[in-house]
Amino acid sequence: MSDLAKLNAAQAALTYVKDGMVVGLGTGSTSAHFVRLLGERVRQGLRVKGVPTSEATRNLAEQVGVPLVEISQVTTIDVDVDGADEVDPRFRLIKGGGGALLREKIVAAASTRMVVIADESKWVDVLGAFPLPVEVTRYGFALTGQRVRDALIETGCVGDEVILRTSGKSNEPVITDGGNYILDAHAKAIAKPGELADALKRIPGVVEHGLFLGLARTVIIGKAVGAEIKES
């Protein structure tokens, strides 16, 4: 059900891609649907160049035949299509569940239009039930985590737990494509996303955070049948 909704959102996003465009390629399971669908269109003759937001997306795009361009070779990106962990009615997002938030934000900010594709479960009234990913340098990460916790408290978040993201049986820290760690900030409810974003950016050791504010222009909510397109 949810995967079909993701597929329907990805399908609807294809209408934003025109011949000759440079396209930001997001990361995650919804974006993966989009990349596969785009590969089909390329085989039918569509000419695009993709800018991947992670090594995982780069690998997938290569497998399905989407031509790629290095971000250093482009001055602008026509459209960026990416998933989200949460979207609120003001099109503010939490992203980074897949750990790709740094590249995702660089690509989104360089794009003329960011199109968010998500299933209905991602649409929320208040951001924060999904833990906010914060990418930090490995050096001093525990101290940085304390400052992140302070920022959650100072900006009125309901929760203040900050947990180093790990994976595997041995609980090794997850390393991002940029070589950093991810702290997951369990804010539970983020009362003031703008203030929290500013506070996080001021912390030495924070490389980027998963609050995407003022970036999304279009949100496509996939459903079991079809998709709803919302424009800002």
- In this complex, which beta carbon is closest to ligand 5RP, that of residue 8 or of residue 31? 31
**142 close to 19: Cβ distance less than 8 angstroms:** no
- In this complex, which beta carbon is closest to ligand 5RP, that of residue 2 or of residue 137? 2
Catalytic residue among 86, 104, 135, 208: 104
Q: Which own/partner contact pairs does 192-199 have at CB distance under 8 Å and 24+ positions apart?
A: 192/155, 192/156, 193/92, 193/127, 195/155, 195/156, 196/132, 196/151, 196/152, 196/155, 196/157, 199/151, 199/154, 199/155
**Smallest separation (angstroms) from ligand 5RP to the CB of 99:** 6
104 is catalytic: yes
Count of all residues that appear for the chain in the document: 232
What are the residues binding ligand 5RP (CB under 6 A)?
26-31, 82-85, 95-101, 104
- In this complex, which beta carbon is closest to ligand 5RP, that of residue 64 or of residue 150? 64
**60 close to 27: Cβ distance less than 8 angstroms:** no
Q: Which helix (H) or strand (E) holds 24?
A: strand 22-25
**Smallest separation (angstroms) from ligand 5RP to the CB of 85:** 5
Give the Cβ contact number of residue 90 at 10 Å. Answer: 12
> How many whole angstroms from its chain centre is CA 46?
25
**Smallest separation (angstroms) from ligand 5RP to the CB of 77:** 16
**Smallest separation (angstroms) from ligand 5RP to the CB of 80:** 11
**191 close to 155: Cβ distance less than 8 angstroms:** yes
Structure token digits, residue 215: 């970036």
**Smallest separation (angstroms) from ligand 5RP to the CB of 31:** 6
- In this complex, which beta carbon is closest to ligand 5RP, that of residue 122 or of residue 149? 122
- State the Cα–Cα distance between residues 47 and 45, nearest whole angstrom: 6
- In this complex, which beta carbon is closest to ligand 5RP, that of residue 30 or of residue 111? 30
Q: Which helix (H) or strand (E) holds 228?
A: strand 227-231
Residues recognised as catalytic:
104
